[in-house]
């Protein structure tokens, strides 16, 4: 088996969120049997990945949770089926919450809606005379001027 496995994303310091979630999904789909991959068993891959890619942006408490879960994967083979299911679910929740926190910390803030915005709709005042401009494809036709009627 190889001594290392690429588990970081292209940015270098962040976990490869997709690869970790895929590993958890496949393990769950196959019955939590500690699958053997090309280089590692599932439990070895998760332990190594979680230990080596603790997000540096996170607080010490979160980093501690990553380390604790990584250590639980060292004894994955000795866990009962319900314990394995619980550990995989706990790891999924940790990855989800960490990724969510990271996105919130790095995404620019969204503008708050104005008082006129309700349920994502913005209201525009229009008059009946200008309503035709808001109807797609509608073009008012000019009527010819009325003819003069002559009486004898």
In a 3-state reduction of DSSP, which class is residue 92?
helix
Question: What is the model's pLDDT at position 8?
Answer: 41
Instruction: Name the pTM for this structure.
Output: 0.61
Domain boundaries, the chain: 17-106
d(CA 145, CA 47): 85
d(CA 32, CA 94): 18
The residue behind tokens 């895929």 is 22
pLDDT tens-digit profile of 63-80? 888 889 999 999 999 999
pLDDT tens-digit profile of 68-111? 999 999 999 999 999 999 999 999 999 998 888 777 777 666 55
- The mean pLDDT value for 49-65 works out to 77
Question: What is the model's pLDDT at position 12?
Answer: 42
Q: Work out the number of other CB atoms within 10 angstroms of the CB of residue 39.
A: 13
- The mean pLDDT value for 2-28 works out to 68
Percent of the chain at pLDDT > 90 equals 36
Q: Work out the number of other CB atoms within 10 angstroms of the CB of residue 96.
A: 12
pLDDT tens-digit profile of 35-46? 998 999 999 999
């Amino acid at each position: 088996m190889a001594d290392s496995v690429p588990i970081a994303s292209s940015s270098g310091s962040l976990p490869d969120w997709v690869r970790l979630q895929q590993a958890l999904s496949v393990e769950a789909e196959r019955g939590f049997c500690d699958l053997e991959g090309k280089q590692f068993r599932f439990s070895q891959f998760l332990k190594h990945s979680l230990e080596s890619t603790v997000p540096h942006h996170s607080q010490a408490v979160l980093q501690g949770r990553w380390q604790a879960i990584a250590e639980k994967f060292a004894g994955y083979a000795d866990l009962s089926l319900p314990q394995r299911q619980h550990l995989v679910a706990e790891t999924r929740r940790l990855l989800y919450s960490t990724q969510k926190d990271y996105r919130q910390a790095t995404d620019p803030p969204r503008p708050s809606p104005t008082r006129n915005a309700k349920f994502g709709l913005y209201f525009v005042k229009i008059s009946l005379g200008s309503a035709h401009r808001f109807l797609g494809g509608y073009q008012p036709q000019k009527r010819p001027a009325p003819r003069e009627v002559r009486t004898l």
